[in-house]
Amino acid sequence: MRVAKVALVLCCCSSAAALVAVPSHRPAATRHRATISMAEGDSRGGLRLLEWVPSQKLLVKTARFAWSTIWRIMISELAPQSPEGDYVRPAPQLGSAASWPAELPAVGGRYHVYLGNACPWCHRVGLTLALRGLLGGVSVTRMDDDPERASRGGWCFSADAPDPLCGANDLREVYDRCTPGGAYTGRCTAPLLVDLQTGEIISNESGDIVRMLNQLDLDLPEGGGERAVDLYPAELRAAVDATNAWVYEAVNNGVYRCGFATTQAAYERAEGDVHEGLARCEALLGASRFLCGDVVTEADVRLLPTICRFDGVYASFFRCGRRQIRSDYPQVWSCPTPQTHAHPKLQIHPWSHLTRAPTD
């Protein structure tokens, strides 16, 4: 005796899979089971690696090795590491106690600074220009951060803010233009301070640029600048230098040491330093208005860009948000307001320097 049963056949079409019931005649003794087949000619997508690779294990291991190798090469270029997995910044922004070059006259309109809004090292230079009242005498170009358009690094120029030196497309072309022989071989970093008259680089180290600009007094038209703020007063220089050193190591660079650490031990060292540094700032700002006393100094200018970015960027992306500024460091949280508005020329809120946020 024959009985009828229903076999399920999976028919794939371009829009969806359809289940079609068709009659089938099998011996009664045969157990009921469904047969699933793929319609001939329908695409199954991809390269069908699992059909011709002899070992899925080999495929997975190869993919992991390739990804790991590419990642390590990229990290070694962008974020060099010590043997212990600590991030070692290739261009430290500590400063070298530089002074304004004696051979360069204090002439308005002759000097130019290239800044990138998203960069904290550029941010400290922008703050210095504003606090020193130099925005009318030292010209500024704010660059876009777009590594797809830039030939080296990420900084390039837009139609709204073209390069005034040589009409360059990106910062690498500026470095080439300012280099004898026209072939610069180093890292094309910002900030960059140049002499427009000679086409020479004065400095590309943010700590040095801040110190230099503090010594630059330009003869500007009446109302063109206010130079009331001395960011490195003689009586506070020892305190400023000492504060700069630990703020840089623990806070400014500490957040990057967290984000780019490649071992757990290196990460824990960096993360601990960050919050020890912030706690130290909290104590100082609880006792005085600014880090080194009752006047704003270079130390505050160096701290502020990191503070402005901490909760919104570093805490999550660099994994150092065990505590956050606005909830756990109230004295530090309040410090940007008096610093930002302490001088009438400083009208750009620090958060405006964060021009792009990661979307993936």
- What is the helix, strand, coil percentage profile of the chain, to 5? 40, 15, 45
- How are beta strands 192-195 and 200-203 bridged, if at all? antiparallel
Distance CA 17, CA 24 (A): 21
Q: Which tokens sit at 225?
A: 């600048």
| Under 8 Å between Cβ of 112 and 123 | no
Distance CA 243, CA 249 (A): 10
- How are beta strands 2-12 and 17-27 bridged, if at all? antiparallel
| Under 8 Å between Cβ of 212 and 98 | yes
State the residue for tokens 């020329």. 345
Amino acid letter, residue 247: V
| Under 8 Å between Cβ of 211 and 232 | yes
Q: What is the DSSP string of 196-246?
A: TTTTEEEE--HHHHHHHHHH----PPTTS------SS-GGGHHHHHHHHHH
Integer CA distances (angstroms), 58 to 49, 66, 68, 131, in order: 11, 12, 15, 61
Distance CA 328, CA 29 (A): 74
Distance CA 82, CA 188 (A): 22
If we measure between CA atoms, which residue out of 235, 329, 314, 228 comes closest to residue 278? 329
- Which active-site residues does the annotation give? 119, 256
